[in-house]
Amino acid sequence: MKTKSLLTTILLFTLALSACAPKPSTPTKAAPTTAVQKTEPTGTKVPPTVESKPTEKPTEAATQAVTATPENLSVNVLSINDQTGANGDILINLVTAKKPGWVAVFTDNKGQPGTLLGYVPVPAGTSEDVKVPVDRAKVTSKMIAVLFVDAGTIGTFEYPGADEIAVESGNNVMMVFNKITG
């Protein structure tokens, strides 16, 4: 008996809900379609543009190495660390030269080049790990590396003379470094 009454209640409840539901809408008529003929544009033709899409994720490293060439160099640069000079060489970490020239190492004379210790030619462009042979007996506690432009007889170091100290932003391109002892 309980089952009959439960079924009757569910049936009545379902009928009540269906009576309260909104009426289904009537379908709308589809709009008539018309064909459009393709016409050639008049006037100046403009080529299509290519749109670039941003990458979804940044890359970790550069995709192409850029090497400075004499045509696109914009600065003269020297980079050197303190070192011993015990083996008779001074190692210049990085040289960037707008024009062919020389890297020379001098003793320090109150922030200016003193006695010439050694020199090597450098091409226009960027050079790494440039070794300058020096006279070990003349190495001092403080030295100066200087970038020169080969302005005189090409291939001949002329200092003092026609070869000029390279200048960048109104300053001579030179770097003071220390002799490491021990």
Please give the average pLDDT of every successive group of 10 residues along the chain, which has 182 residues. 57 55 57 47 44 43 40 77 84 94 94 93 94 89 95 92 93 92 68
pTM over 0.75: no
Instruction: Report domain extents, the chain.
Output: 77-178
Please state, in angstroms and rounded to a whole number, the distance separating the CA atoms of residues 38 and 142. 81
pLDDT of residue 180: 83
pLDDT of residue 126: 94
Assign 162 to helix, strand or coil. Answer: coil
Sign of CA dihedral 146, 150, 155, 160: negative
Please state, in angstroms and rounded to a whole number, the distance separating the CA atoms of residues 20 and 118. 103
pLDDT of residue 136: 84
pLDDT of residue 137: 85
pLDDT of residue 18: 58
pLDDT of residue 29: 56
- In words, the CATH class of domain 77-178 is mainly beta
